[in-house]
Amino acid sequence: MALSKQVFTEAMMLLGTVYEKLRGITSNKEVLKAWYSVLNDMTDDELKAAVDDYVRTSKYAPVPADLWERVNAMREQQHPELSAEEAWGIVYRDISRYGYYSEPTYDDWKLEAAKNSIGWGTLCDLTENTLMPTRAHFMRIYGSFAQREKAATQTNNPMAIAFVNNLAREIAGKATAPIKELGKG
């Protein structure tokens, strides 16, 4: 849900009260319009929490990017991502659990795409000589997908989000967009 103008106005009033540098902001409609344009993808609760956290911990007046940093950190805490090592651990466990003829599918599109990039058959045919190189390759692939998703989410760039969504559909075979909840709260 988009940011309500009432919550936005209350947040800006609080920032203007706490930070002298922002006192004039509440009377300048063009500046308020610009701030709202940049922050309107936040939810009401996210903006409230970001402003509250910011005024409690920062001496200097924020810019919109400071509030987005707080929101992105909160979002990451709510949806912790697997590390590349953890993702490999899941796949490696499932190799012996499922075997060659019963390939698992994963909800995490990055995990599914990394598995598909190498191939389930190749993963099941690991030997002592291929285990470590395959592990390293898997972790690089997973890490690359995670970096692309994080960059697209943090910048909220529609083209980057579309690229990541296309990766998810093409490589992971996922029909739904992986960033749907991250770009719009």
**Tens-digit pLDDT profile for residues 116-162:** 999 999 999 999 999 999 999 999 999 988 888 888 877 877 888 88
Which of 78, 97, 122 delimits the end of a domain? 78
> In terms of domains, do 173 and 90 share one?
yes
pLDDT reported for residue 179: 52
Cα–Cα dist 101/104, whole Å: 10
pLDDT above 70 for 177:
no
Cα–Cα dist 1/184, whole Å: 7
pLDDT reported for residue 184: 40
Q: Which amino acid is at 117?
A: S
> In terms of domains, do 95 and 176 share one?
yes
Q: How far is CA 150 from the centre of its chain?
A: 5
Higher pLDDT, 79 or 37: 37
The torsion of the CA quartet 84, 86, 90, 91, rounded to 10 degrees, works out to 20
Number of domains making up the chain: 2
Mean local confidence (pLDDT), 67-95: 85
> In terms of domains, do 90 and 167 share one?
yes
Which of 16, 49, 78 delimits the end of a domain? 78
In the chain, % of residues over pLDDT 90: 51
- In the chain, the N- to C-terminal Cα span, in Å, equals 7
> In terms of domains, do 68 and 134 share one?
no
> In terms of domains, do 54 and 72 share one?
yes
Domain ranges, residue 29: 5-78
pLDDT reported for residue 176: 41
Cα–Cα dist 70/53, whole Å: 8
- Mean pLDDT, the chain, whole residue set: 86
> In terms of domains, do 72 and 13 share one?
yes
Q: Rounded to two decimals, what is the model's pTM?
A: 0.55
Which of 78, 107, 133 delimits the end of a domain? 78
Cα–Cα dist 18/134, whole Å: 54
Cα–Cα dist 110/175, whole Å: 14
